[in-house]
Amino acid sequence: MRWSKLFIPTLRDAPADAEAASHKLLVRGGFIRQLHAGHYSLLPLGLRVHDKVENIVRRGMEQIGAQEFLLPAMHPASIWQRSGRWESVGPEMFRLHDRKEADLALGMTHEEVFSHIATEITSYRSLPQIWYQIQWKFRDEPRPKSGLLRVREFAMKDSYSFDLDDAGLDHAFEVHREAYTRIFERLSLDAIAVQASSGMMGGTGSVEFMVPSPAGEDDIARCNNCGYAANVERATSTLAPVDDGDGSSELTRFPTPGVRTIAALETVEGGAPAHRQIKTMVMVLDGAITLALVRGDHQLNLQKLADGTGAADIRAAEPSETVEHLGAHPGSLGAVGVTDLPIVADHALRGRRNLATGANTDDWHYSGVDIDRDIAVGEWLDLREVSAGEPCVNCGQPLEVVRCIETGHIFKLGRRYAEAMGATVLDADGVARTITMGSYGIGIGRAMAAVAEVHHDDRGLIWPAAVAPYAAVITVASMRDDAAVTAAERIYGELRGLGVEVLLDDRDARAGVKFADSELIGVPWRITAGRAVADGEVELTTRSTGDTERVAIDDAAAAVAALADAARS
RNA sequence: CGGGACGUGGCGCAGCCAGGUAGCGCACCUGCUUUGGGAGCAGGGGGUCGCCGGUUCAAAUCCGGCCGUCCCGACCA
């Protein structure tokens, strides 16, 4: 393709509201443009990259014998009502009416539709199956952000496995885990497979594929020694034992004027160090006030609270609500003597004695609290978020906490959807059995943005050859240099003959502009036809290293084709 | 949804406080010069100042309402 004919609107300045590197560079490089919040147009360059990512994912699926479908993006309400999610998913689903006033939804995922089709699997002999599609998903995200990283409509590869029994599901899940590992390698993404919470999908297990990046929105805990890795929504760690002193002590109520924080309670007379305090978080779980207790120096993880209690809607109570239900403002709250509200507590508080906590009267606290004696804990749960440096549960080495982009997520769904849709088969004994399912997603645009996030420098993008919009660009330093133009045209023709995707920068612009643009759009190899042409040579520059070597005009096309081939295998 | 910021040619911004009929850089068009790291000179085109209403002789500017976008928190590929 000739650059002079292509629509590549590069920008010297990034839009003021772009924050993430991928966002800035994809806009500056002329890959994407925003239509409105969370909705982006893919320009010709952007679509080329998107297509390449898509095809890498597609090949990964074909490798495990998955069959490609294409399902409707718009669904009747009825299938979502059947699975119960019409009610349970809430405002994240785009809903609309047709002219007959029938309820419709834009698909945010396709468990319902696929399991509906799966009702036509009638014999165990047809199992297992793996079905997939690459289809647009619509999600009314509360907060779209960071360019392609978090949007409201996006292409997702979603696959679904159908098996007779748990062993089959385990196998399909494992096969996907391996396929995902290969796909992300192919994309040059160092994705870490971590244990994850299953969230709204439900099911018995899930693994997320996380790419370390400051632009991400999730934290994972990982151990560099033994390989343990989990989303902080799931991660645990070993804790050093705490010495609560000898014997039991008396519950004592004492005045603490102005003390509102854990830190303040550490230093007052009668107080205690943070790890010997109880932090009382007053939460509203599906509308019901609940006390969630963690150690004073620990952080409550909301997803763990949701997973542990089964609550769908969680928020912190307003100060007015804490006054109404407990009689005090945040800063003086506690669970001692509370019997009319549910209380859940983190394992780290089990059996603990001699603790300090709020007394449910402003400016008063308790000391000498014995959890078992003084607090009516209804349920012990894992509620605390791990912190960097805490010992790994497996090997004891310190954990690190890393910010990541979630590029893939695989779930063991079990029989929930198949049961709702009535997807059963007859087994060898002629008994009807409900199919068990897994579901497996990769966000195409998000993966593309993640690659951009990881592979760039201060000059622009550095696409890995596997996803680059073009493998090479031939830069003609000056269009008035007839010899250079001739050499460039010749190499251009040869490369196209060799099947290499190549751009010919034939714009009547200054060399500096062309160099800068080629680096901004991140094409892996550049051939410069300029002053070296007088010696029968051109320059070959590798984008990732900046290294330049001279190559004979005669050999240039073959040299680039060899590099592109090497990168392909 | 809670908190914060912003909305002025395609992009980046000034003008607003102290109302007087819109400006700068980049980009774009024409000409001349220049030609290996985002050229120079000269000329030129392009803006309902987010929208609606109000105050005023006069509103980008003051007041009210609405909409939109971005950032920080609760959700997901």
Nearest DNA or RNA nucleotide to A146 (CA to C1') = B70
**Minimum-distance residue to B35 (CA–C1'):** A510
- Tell me the ipTM for this assembly: 0.92
B chain positions with any atom within 7 Å of a protein CB: 1-2, 10-13, 25-27, 34-39, 68-77
**Phi, psi for A445 (deg, rounded to 5):** -65, -35
List, in order, residues 6 or more apart from A450 with CB less than 8 Å away: A22, A149, A187, A189, A211, A213, A405, A407
Question: Within 10 A of A241 (CB to CB), how many other CB atoms are there?
Answer: 6
Cα distance between residue A166 and residue A185, in whole Å: 29
Nearest DNA or RNA nucleotide to A15 (CA to C1') = B11
**Minimum-distance residue to B27 (CA–C1'):** A11
Nearest DNA or RNA nucleotide to A529 (CA to C1') = B36
CA of A516 to C1' of B38 (A): 7
Contact (Cβ atoms closer than 8 angstroms) between residue A344 and residue A290: yes
Convert the pLDDT of each residue in A261-299 to its tens digit.
888 898 888 888 999 999 999 998 888 889 999 999 998
Q: Is A213 exposed, middle or buried (0-12, 13-18, 19+ CB in 10 A)?
A: buried
The pLDDT assigned to A39 comes to: 92
What is the number of alpha carbons within 13 Å of residue A152 lying toward its C-beta? 16
Contact (Cβ atoms closer than 8 angstroms) between residue A48 and residue A470: yes
Cα distance between residue A477 and residue A485, in whole Å: 9
Task: Name the region of A38 (left: φ>0; alpha: ψ -120 to 50; beta: rest).
Answer: left
The answer to pTM > 0.80 is yes
CA of A16 to C1' of B19 (A): 29
**pLDDT below 50 — which residues of chain A?**
none
Give the residues across from A33 on adjacent strands: A41
CA of A548 to C1' of B62 (A): 61
List, in order, residues 6 or more apart from A546 with CB less than 8 Å away: none
CA of A495 to C1' of B8 (A): 48
The residue among A235, A229, A207 whose CA lies nearest residue A412 is A207
The residue behind tokens 């147009």 is A41
CA of A9 to C1' of B26 (A): 13
Nearest DNA or RNA nucleotide to A208 (CA to C1') = B77
The pLDDT assigned to A245 comes to: 81
Nearest DNA or RNA nucleotide to A305 (CA to C1') = B74
CA of A138 to C1' of B4 (A): 28
CA of A509 to C1' of B21 (A): 40
Cα distance between residue A90 and residue A95, in whole Å: 10
Nearest DNA or RNA nucleotide to A548 (CA to C1') = B36
CA of A148 to C1' of B9 (A): 27
**What is the 3-state composition of chain A as percent helix, strand, coil, each rounded to the nearest 5?**
30, 30, 40
Cα distance between residue A67 and residue A332, in whole Å: 59
CA of A41 to C1' of B54 (A): 39
CA of A460 to C1' of B43 (A): 35
The residue among A240, A236, A239, A231 whose CA lies nearest residue A383 is A236
CA of A57 to C1' of B16 (A): 52
The pLDDT assigned to A155 comes to: 96
Question: Within 10 A of A444 (CB to CB), how many other CB atoms are there?
Answer: 23
CA of A259 to C1' of B66 (A): 44
**Minimum-distance residue to B36 (CA–C1'):** A511
Nearest DNA or RNA nucleotide to A35 (CA to C1') = B69
Task: For residue A377, give the H/E element and its range.
Answer: none
> In b/e form, how buried is each residue of A246-274, taking b as 16+ CB within 10 angstroms?
eeeeeeeeeebeebeebeebbebeebbeb
Convert the pLDDT of each residue in A536-566 to its tens digit.
999 999 999 999 999 999 999 999 999 999 9
Q: Is the peptide bond before A524 cis (omega within 30 degrees of 0)?
A: no
**Minimum-distance residue to B13 (CA–C1'):** A16
Nearest DNA or RNA nucleotide to A231 (CA to C1') = B76
The pLDDT assigned to A184 comes to: 98
Nearest DNA or RNA nucleotide to A508 (CA to C1') = B35
CA–CA distances in Å: residue A470 to residues A2, A28, A315, A440, A474: 12, 17, 48, 30, 11
**Minimum-distance residue to B69 (CA–C1'):** A37
**Minimum-distance residue to B5 (CA–C1'):** A17
Nearest DNA or RNA nucleotide to A513 (CA to C1') = B38
Task: Please report the sign of the dihedral spanned by the C-alpha atoms of residue A419, residue A425, residue A430, residue A433.
Answer: negative
CA of A351 to C1' of B31 (A): 88
SS3 A137: strand
Cα distance between residue A139 and residue A108, in whole Å: 6
